[in-house]
Amino acid sequence: MTDQTIQRIASDTPNVAPGFVQRVRGLSDRAVAWLFIGPTLAILLAINIFPLIWTVYLSFTNYRANQPGREVKWVGTRNYERLLGSEDIWGYLQATAHFVVWTMVLQVLIGFGLALLINRNFRGASFWTTLILIPMMLSPAVVGTFWTYIYQPQTGIFSYIIDFFAGTGAIDMIGSVTLAPWAIIIVDTWMWAPYIMLLCLAGLRSIPDYLYEAAEIDRANALQKFWYITLPRVLPFLMLAVLFRGIENFKMFDMVVELTSGGPGSTTELASINLKREAFEKWRTGFSSAFAIILFVTVFGLGNIYVKALNKVKS
């Protein structure tokens, strides 16, 4: 910002104290820039960076937030050792990985498939698009609750439909160790495949028609057009959608708590659910801080690798 610009702004602004212009005029461009980004930076430090550093510190202590008067002792790496040596923690991480991987696979397949269908611009396409998008507009807690009724083995529609077509009898999706992990995957896919569809649709609609026309001239078949035009053009959108959903599902909490409470046993106890239990039910703040750091490093590391891959695809 030049001095002339500052003067112009100041002169255009009514009721500015006379000293202000001079004070601003005395500042360098760099100082003015700091003036603008300073408050944002301060807020960022206060609510993001400081808590992160504080969490790292707490992860090496025996601190409990519900016992403010208790002596806080430095316990070294004990919390990390307990975490990494615990079969239960590895179980929660495995459950989380199973959930994230399968929801991503199913949501990409279904979301992309739906986007290809909707992109055909058939009659009533707008209506169907709106209808498909409804699940992602609902609250996850509400979705979790009403799917417990849908999955109810005696009165739920899900069990009835499966029994009607496959003659399985009543199936207990939530109470079965084998089925419960799939129960939460199905609900999440039902809810969020439309989101993937939406981003893919944006990608599909950004592909210029002349590319397909040129392919027609070159006598490319449908599969070749899909492989060489559609997929590469949509891939950055798809990868972005997977990044967003992957991070969200790594942190999944509300829907699963309402649906299964992490059960049966600990079958669907995802990392976030256990983290909440450690932090705010057991009040093992130091231990849960260490768990949070491990999860943060995992998501941050995987996210970085993924973003690099995404940039590569884009370029």
Partner 1 sequence: MRILMTTALAAAVSAASLSGANAQDKELTLCWAAWDPANALVELSKDFTAKTGIGMNFEFVPWTSFADRMLNELNSGGKLCDLMIGDSQWIGGGATYGHYVKLNDFFEKEGISMDDFLPATVNAYSTWPKGTPNYYALPAMGDALGWVYRKDWFERPEIQEAFKAEHGRDLGVPKNWTELREIAQFFQGREIDGKKVYGAAIYTERGSEGITMGVTAALYPWGFKYENTPGKYDMEGAVNSPEAVEALEFYKSMYETATPPGHSDAYMVANLDAYKSGQVAMQMNWFAFFPGIAKDEAVGGDVSGFFANPSQNVEGSTLGGQGISVVSYSDKQEEALEYIKWFAQPDVQAKWWALGGYSCHVAVAGADDFAESTPFAGEFLKAMGSVKDFWQEPIYAELLQAMQKRVHDYVVADQGTAQEALDKLIEDWTISFEDDGKL
Q: Is 222 helix (H, G, I), strand (E, B) or coil?
A: helix
Which has the closest alpha carbon to 291: 83, 63, 54, 75?
83
74 lines the binding site for partner 1 (CB under 8 A): no
Select from 12-20, 36-44, 129-137, 167-175 the region that touches partner 1 (CB under 8 A): 167-175
Is residue 10 near partner 1 by the rule CB under 8 A? no
Half-sphere exposure of residue 108: CA atoms within 13 angstroms, side-chain side: 19
Least distance (Å) from partner 1 to the CB of residue 132? 29
Strand partners, 61: 74
**Residue from 104, 272, 284, 289 in contact with partner 1 (CB under 8 A):** 284
b vs e for 244-269, b when ≥16 Cβ sit within 10 Å of the residue's Cβ? Answer: ebbeebbebbbbbbbbbebebeebbb
Question: What is the chain's percent helix, strand, coil content, to nearest 5?
Answer: 75, 0, 25
Selected range binding partner 1 among 65-73, 121-129, 208-216, 227-235, rule: CB under 8 A: 65-73
179 sits near partner 1 (criterion: CB under 8 A): no
145 near partner 1, rule: CB under 8 A: no
Site string for partner 1, 85-124 (x = CB under 8 A): ---x------------------------------------
Structure tokens at 237: 């959108």
For 113, phi then psi, to 5°, come to: -60, -45
Give the residue with the Cβ less far from partner 1, 99 or 151.
Answer: 151
Identify the residue among 7, 11, 13, 67 touching partner 1 (CB under 8 A): 67
**Which residues here bind partner 1, judged by CB under 8 A?**
62, 65-67, 69, 82, 88, 151-154, 170, 172, 174-175, 177, 257, 260-267, 277, 280-284
